[in-house]
Chain A
């Protein structure tokens, strides 16, 4: 329940701050990028609420850089 409340408050704040500004002033391109950012945040929000440790941000970039980063660090130790 606590996790659910945290995510709802966070999204609620963004909705409260941006709704009018987005509706009046933004281009279609800006709205599309805005929506994409919200969708990524929503995915992470659901991941946090259900607490199932889905693939997250760091899992992706760890897979890309871990090998080279690990070998550089090990060679300097």
Chain B
């Protein structure tokens, strides 16, 4: 494991863009299309565009604060602007939500494996292994994360691109119409759902921006915005492909890309390739869990003004594992938490503190700059 200290670690803006893309796209590309189409129907792509624009607003706030307080993370400038105690009070929801996010990602991939691929294996086998590997990676630091994720992002993108291309003969473009048979309400419902997961989670990048090297920091806004637009486009394409393949039944598929891979039949040679979507989901979940675990340990250490975040990586991973063991009371209960509770909890955890810090910064920022 690395011996490089936290404050010495740097990544380029391109590497941070890759981490951001991996974190945003990792598990959402497989988990989002089915439930989103279930809410918004054929207008799922419109919902994604709406929530994507709202996500861009969050990015703009974060980039504004980063420009005003270069080299500081969200916790650090929040402490300077609002004071340590107020930051701790507002961080209760943030820390709790980060823990929920981390457990949720791992639980989702474990449930996917248990329900779709390895039905006889206990859930804790998957959750424990994902947490163990993520903890080891987060412990190694952001430089190792950046180097590793580059390769994994390429592999996952090729796998998903391959499935979408091989299913070409199953697509029926006529299924895409009508776009809004029930008016605007389902689209807004879909936008509300997809804003909660994954676009409100953009907030985490505010903790990682100080790691970008000064040499490449001028390219940071373009890289982050490009990564986000690419993420919106890729999830939109996945939704469109799922609708074209399954039509009205698309919303009933929990893991839409997995179902799409299941029906791939190309020249009678390539068929039943759903296992590569299983691999992609595991890789995507691993990447997202690692980033959340890293940010969670960083957030906690900066909140209490400690220098080494690695101390908290393993107990936080253990805590996340325990949440997956006792927090899961059945699939129906879990779907309720993810689809109904998640967006409001995310707003209280990320959007409210961000807007508060932004407001305080606008009113008294200039004096702090000096």
Residues of chain A having any CB pair with chain B under 8 Å: 6, 9-11, 13-14, 17-18, 21-22, 25-27, 29-30, 33-34, 37-38, 40-41, 44-45, 47-48, 53-54, 56-58, 61-62, 65-66, 68-70, 72-73, 76-77
Contacts and interface: CB of A to CB of B under 8 A. Distances in A.
Given A44-B323, A48-B325, A62-B337, A21 B345 contact: no
Nearest to B303: A33
Interface in B59-115: 96, 99-100
A76 B315 contact: no
A10 B127 CA distance: 11
B363 interface: no
27 contacts: A9-B128, A11-B318, A13-B132, A18-B314, A30-B306, A33-B300, A33-B304, A34-B315, A37-B318, A40-B322, A47-B326, A48-B322, A54-B326, A57-B326, A61-B100, A62-B337, A62-B341, A65-B344, A66-B340, A68-B344, A69-B340, A69-B344, A72-B344, A73-B189, A73-B192, A76-B185, A77-B189
B348 A34 contact: no
A14 B315 contact: yes
Interface residues of B, number: 38
A69 B341 contact: yes
A30 to B, nearest CB: 5
B124 interface: yes
Contacts of A73: 189, 192, 339-340
Name the prevailing secondary structure of the A interface residues.
helix
Contacts of A45: 322, 325
Given A65-B341, A73-B339, A10 B308 contact: no
Contacts of B340: 66, 69-70, 73
What's the dominant secondary structure at chain B's contact region? helix
Contacts of B339: 73
B318 A69 contact: no
Contacts, number: 113
Contacts of B26: none
Contacts of A9: 128
A6 B311 contact: no
A15 B276 CA distance: 35
Contact of A57 (B188, B311, B323): B323
A73 B193 CA distance: 9
Given A37-B319, A65-B341, A69-B340, 8 more contacts: A13-B132, A14-B314, A21-B311, A37-B315, A38-B315, A38-B318, A44-B322, A58-B327
B233 interface: no
Given A65-B345, A69-B341, A76-B185, A33 B312 contact: yes
A33 B188 CA distance: 41
B99 A25 contact: no
A22 B311 contact: yes
Contact of B341 (A33, A41, A53, A66): A66
Contacts of B323: 44, 56-57
Contacts of A33: 300, 304, 306, 312
Contacts of B99: 57
Nearest to A76: B189
B343 interface: yes
A77 B203 CA distance: 27
B321 interface: yes
Nearest to A68: B344
Contact of A30 (B185, B308, B325, B327): B308
